């Protein structure tokens, strides 16, 4: 089937799922979770095939070690994936929520109501668990989705989607073609042209991928290009707290986009040398003169710099950061507030690891990705980020002429 027909089918499916009852969507999600759990050994087997091929690509330099790490499914990722689906089922329905109710005049009421975006095009590299996360979020938010994963995870992607669609086929009343998958670069090229049917593109990958997508489509793009995350150690920071947070933010999962890449240390912090020594003992390679301050290492490598003030730290972050997630470690409430108000990022933290920037950890069940956009959705994008809104106006024969000539007057009374 050519891509345009796939997109047409997705559009038709999006119109059918838009008013699907919540209980049907939840039944679908629970069946998906049960099916993935029942077939996890087969999914691991498919993933093993991808990993074997990916090892060859790493040796040839065609993919990085960080991509390889994201590709690997293990018991922990599988557990979180299944739990995330069930958590999404337990969340309130994000569709048809009344965001505003305003009586314009007696008997004339305006409703602002949440609704699905429509058709999502998701392009991602490695990370096969993305398929289950995004499919689940799409179902709960009543969107259709077309998925395009990287060639390095093709066996895992095919197996997971087969499990998902087999589960959906068991749910009475659930429409076909809500979750579809494509595989080729030609499909990506067609997807980016398909603004007639696709409402939003969400890329999950490196800077090169995101930049290419943004430059080659008229469709709105939601996502982030880089994860240049910073931690600023203020002069009043606690040494042990700083050590613990920075080690976690750099080593817990170095290839993640919310891993810290640059450490800024106030020149009056009295334990600078002890902190740096501790980080080196945790197998972190420190670089004090990087070629670029706007570089995402994706490894146990950390650029660091001594700054003269909190203002210099904020200026550095706003200059070189990617607007993803940045943190201050401090004992000063005043400095924390200044930092958190002035740093222009989707996530601004105080005394916690940047690794918390995640939809699952935020209680969203899962996420379609992290957005550094400043419109519609920002930060980890969960169910709310996959809905938009429409206005419903209910009256009883009212016409504008009566208000234009002064016969009637608006009183604009908010009910919600």
Q: What is the pTM of this model?
A: 0.88
Task: With beta carbons less than 8 A apart as the criterion, state whether 236 and 335 touch.
Answer: yes
Torsion, Cα 335 336 337 343, to 10 degrees, reads 100
Angstrom distance (rounded) from CA 123 to CA 16: 24
Q: Roughly what angle, to the nearest 10 degrees, separates helices 22-38 and 154-168?
A: 130
Q: Is 142 left (phi over 0), alpha (psi -120 to 50) or beta?
A: left
Burial profile 202-231: b = 16 or more Cβ within 10 angstroms, e = fewer: bbbbbeebbeebeeebebbbbbbbbbbbbb
Q: Phi and psi for 333 in degrees, rounded to 5?
A: -65, -40
Which domains are assigned to the chain? 3-93+116-223 (3.40.605.10), 229-356 (3.40.309.10)
> What are the pLDDT tens digits along the chain (416 aa)?
899 999 999 999 999 999 999 999 999 999 999 999 999 999 999 999 999 999 998 898 888 887 888 899 999 999 999 999 999 999 999 999 999 999 999 999 999 999 999 999 999 988 888 899 999 999 999 999 999 998 899 999 999 999 999 999 999 999 999 999 999 999 999 999 999 999 999 998 777 888 899 899 999 999 887 899 999 999 999 999 999 999 999 999 998 899 999 999 999 999 999 999 999 999 999 999 999 999 999 899 999 999 999 999 999 999 999 999 999 999 999 999 999 999 999 999 999 999 999 998 998 988 888 999 888 899 999 999 999 999 999 999 999 999 999 999 999 999 98
Angstrom distance (rounded) from CA 330 to CA 341: 15
Per-residue confidence (pLDDT) for residue 64, from 0 to 100 = 82
Per-residue confidence (pLDDT) for residue 224, from 0 to 100 = 81
Nearest to 95 by CA among 33, 199, 176, 17: 17
C-alpha angle 165-168-173 in degrees, rounded to nearest 5: 140
């Amino acid at each position: 089937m050519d891509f345009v027909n796939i997109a047409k089918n997705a559009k038709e499916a999006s119109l059918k799922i838009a008013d699907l009852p919540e209980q049907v969507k939840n039944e679908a999600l629970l069946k998906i979770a049960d099916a993935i759990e029942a077939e996890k050994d087969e999914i691991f087997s498919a993933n093993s095939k991808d990993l074997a091929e990916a090892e060859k690509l790493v040796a040839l330099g065609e993919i990085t070690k960080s991509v390889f790490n994201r590709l690997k499914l293990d018991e922990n990722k599988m557990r979180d994936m299944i739990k995330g689906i069930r958590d999404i089922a337990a969340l309130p329905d994000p569709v048809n929520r009344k965001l505003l109710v305003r009586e314009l005049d007696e008997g004339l009421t305006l409703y602002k109501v949440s609704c699905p975006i429509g058709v999502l095009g998701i392009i991602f590299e490695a990370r096969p668990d993305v398929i289950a996360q995004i499919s689940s979020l799409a179902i709960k938010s009543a969107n259709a989705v077309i998925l395009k994963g990287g060639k390095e995870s093709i066996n895992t992607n095919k197996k997971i989607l087969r499990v998902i669609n087999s589960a959906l086929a068991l749910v009475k009343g659930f429409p076909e073609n809500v979750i579809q998958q494509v595989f080729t670069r030609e499909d990506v090229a067609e997807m980016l042209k398909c603004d007639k049917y696709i409402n939003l593109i969400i890329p999950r990958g490196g800077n090169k991928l995101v930049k290419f997508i943004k430059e080659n489509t008229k469709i709105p793009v939601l996502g982030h290009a880089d994860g240049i995350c910073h931690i600023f150690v203020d002069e009043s920071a606690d040494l042990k707290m700083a050590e613990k947070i920075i080690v976690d933010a750099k080593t817990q999962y170095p290839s993640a986009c919310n891993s810290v890449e640059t450490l800024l240390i106030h020149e009056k912090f009295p334990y600078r040398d002890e902190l740096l020594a501790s980080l080196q003992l945790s197998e972190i390679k420190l670089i004090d003169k990087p070629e670029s301050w706007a570089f995402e290492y994706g490894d146990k490598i950390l650029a660091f710099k001594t700054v003269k003030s909190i203002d210099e730290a904020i200026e550095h972050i706003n200059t070189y950061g990617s607007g993803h997630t940045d943190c201050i470690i401090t004992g000063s409430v005043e400095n924390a507030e200044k930092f958190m108000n002035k740093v222009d990022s989707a996530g601004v933290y105080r005394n916690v690891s940047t690794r918390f920037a995640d939809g699952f950890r935020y209680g969203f069940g899962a996420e379609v990705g992290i957005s550094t956009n400043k419109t519609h959705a920002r930060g980890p994008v969960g169910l709310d980020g996959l809905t938009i809104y429409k206005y419903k106006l209910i009256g009883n024969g009212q016409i504008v002429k009566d208000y234009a000539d002064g016969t009637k007057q608006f009183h604009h009374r908010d009910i919600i």
